[in-house]
Structure 1
C-alpha cells in the first residue's frame, strides 16, 4: 500500500496502471467506514500477490485529486487500468463483494504467475563481442536512436576500442551540449586523446606524480594523471585522483573534475538486471560506492 499525493500521482497511479490494475482508496482519518475497509483492502492486496496495486489518497489533504475524480463521499475506491478509471464503488463493502469486484478486472492467478515467470526468463548472456555486434546492429538499424548509440560507444570504450568509439560517436558530437550522457562520452574520449599525446602511460604517470609531490595543489597534474588512468581503463584509480581535486577545489576549471568523474560513472555503469514487477534492480556496488563518495565530497 502506498500513500499518494499530487507529487507522486503520475508515477504511482497513472504510470503504474499501464502495467497492472491500480486500486485507489480515497479516505480520511476521521472516516469510520474507511477504518473498516482499509485493512480489508490491504489484506486483498497481499492475497492477490501483485495482481493489482493498492494506493491510498487522503481526500482532506489532496483535495485537488479528490475533485479530479469527483469524490463526493468516502470511502470511495476507483480502479484504473491503462491510465483510465474503469470501475469503482463507494462505502465499506463486504469481503465477498470486494472479491467479486476485483475478480472482474484483475488477471487470474495462474495467468499472473505465468506472466511473472515469463518476465523473469533470461536469454543466455551474450559475450562481449556478441553484445557489441548487437549494439552495432541497433545503431545501424536506427541511426537516430541516441540511447543505442550511447550504449554502443560505451561498449567500445570499455573494450578499449577507442578509435572505433570515436568514429561511432562522431554523428552525435554536435549534441553534447544538450545531452549529458553524450557529454560524458566526449569527456572520456578527450581523456583518451590527451593520454595518447603523453607517450608511454607509465612515464606520463611518473611525471605527473613528481609534479604532485612538489605541489599537492597542482590540479592540472592531477587531472592529467586521472586522464591517463582513465585511458588505461583504470576507472576507479582515475576517480580517486579526481576526488583529490574535488576535496581541494570543487569548482576547479569550470567543474572539469566533477564532470569527468560523472562521465566515468556513466561509462562504467552496467545495464540494470531484469527483475520481477515491483522490484527495484540493485545498483552496481562499485558505481554505488563512488556515487556516495562524490556526494560526500561535493556536499561537504
Structure 2
C-alpha cells in the first residue's frame, strides 16, 4: 500500500501502472464507508500477491488529484492500467463484489507455481506485438481508417514520430471528414509546435500577467499535448472555454474534443445486451466540457 500525494502521483500511479495495475482508493478520515472498505482493499492486495498495488489518496488533502479524477463522493476506487483509468466504482462494496471487480482486470499471483503459464489467450500482448498486429491490420485493409488511427496513435505513444507521420500521410486529406483523423492531425501539429517553442516559461509569464491571454493558454495546451499530458491540456483549454466559448473559431473546443478522441480507450468486451463501462477520465472531462459549453 502506498500513500499518494501530488508529488509522487506521476511515479507511483501513472508510471507504476504501465507494468502493474494500480488500484487508487480516494478516502477521507471522516468517511465512515471509507473505514469499511479500506481494510478490505488492504486484505485483497495481500491475497492477490502482487497482482495489483493499492494506492490511497486522502481526498481532503489532495483535492487537485480528486478533482482531476472527477471524484464527487467517497470512497471512490479507480483501477489504473497503462497510465489510464480503466474501471472503477463508488461506495463501500462488500468483499465479494470487490473480488468480482478485481477479477475482471487483475491476475492474482499469490500461491501460483512459478512454472505455471497462463493460457495462450490470456498472455498479455507486448507493445511490440500490438504494433505488429495494428500494422498488419492497416496493410491488410488500407482503407480502414479506424485501424490506421489506432496504429498511428500507438506509434506516437511509443515515441516513433516519423513512423506515425508515414502512417498518417495517406489519410491527411480526410481531416475534415473524420474526428479521429482530425485528432491525429492536431496531435502532430502540437508536436511540431513544441519543437519550435523555445521557452515554455514565457507562456506561463504571459498567462500570469493576463489570464485572458487565450493564445498563450492555447499554446501551453499544445505543449502539454506534445508531452502527452492529456488532462492538464484539457484543463488549460477549459480555462479558455470558461471565458470565451467561441474563441478563435471554436479552436479550444475542437482541440479539447480531439484529446478526448485520443485518450478514449478501446471498449472492453461485455456480454450481449450489456453496455461497456465508460472510461472514468473521459466521462469526467466530457461532463466538464458540457457544463461549460452549455452554461
TM, length-normalised to structure 1: 0.57
Q: How many angstroms does 1:130 deviate by?
A: 1.5
Equivalent residue number for residue 264 of structure 1:
259
SS in 1 for 2:269: coil
Higher relative contact order (CA 8 A, sep 6+): 2
Gaps of 5+ in 1: 1-120
The answer to whether structure 1 residue 172 and structure 2 residue 167 are counterparts is: no
Equivalent residue number for residue 189 of structure 1:
188
The answer to whether structure 1 residue 288 and structure 2 residue 287 are counterparts is: no
Equivalent residue number for residue 100 of structure 1:
none
* Bigger helix share: 1
Q: How does 1:127-166 map to 2 (within 5 A)?
A: 127-166=126-165
Partner Cα separation in structure 1 for residue 160 and residue 250 of structure 2: 27
Partner Cα separation in structure 1 for residue 138 and residue 122 of structure 2: 21
**Cα 1:123–1:144 shift into 2, 3 Å:** farther
Equivalent residue number for residue 113 of structure 1:
none
Q: How many angstroms does 1:218 deviate by?
A: 0.5
The one-character-per-residue Cα deviations of 1:173-207 (angstroms, maximum 9, x if unpaired) are 011111121111111111111111113xxx32x11
Partner Cα separation in structure 2 for residue 161 and residue 243 of structure 1: 29
Partner Cα separation in structure 2 for residue 172 and residue 280 of structure 1: 31
Gaps of 5+ in 2: 1-119
**Cα 1:197–1:154 shift into 2, 3 Å:** same
Q: How does 1:72-87 map to 2 (within 5 A)?
A: none
Structure exhibiting the larger radius of gyration computed from Cα positions: 1
Q: How many angstroms does 1:226 deviate by?
A: 0.4
Q: How many angstroms does 1:160 deviate by?
A: 2.8
Q: How many angstroms does 1:127 deviate by?
A: 2.3
The answer to whether structure 1 residue 246 and structure 2 residue 247 are counterparts is: no
Partner Cα separation in structure 2 for residue 124 and residue 269 of structure 1: 23
Q: How many angstroms does 1:123 deviate by?
A: 4.5
Equivalent residue number for residue 19 of structure 2:
none
Kept in 2, the 8 Å contact 1:211–1:218? The answer is: yes
Partner Cα separation in structure 1 for residue 127 and residue 250 of structure 2: 33
Equivalent residue number for residue 272 of structure 2:
277
Kept in 2, the 8 Å contact 1:158–1:268? The answer is: no
Q: How many angstroms does 1:159 deviate by?
A: 2.4
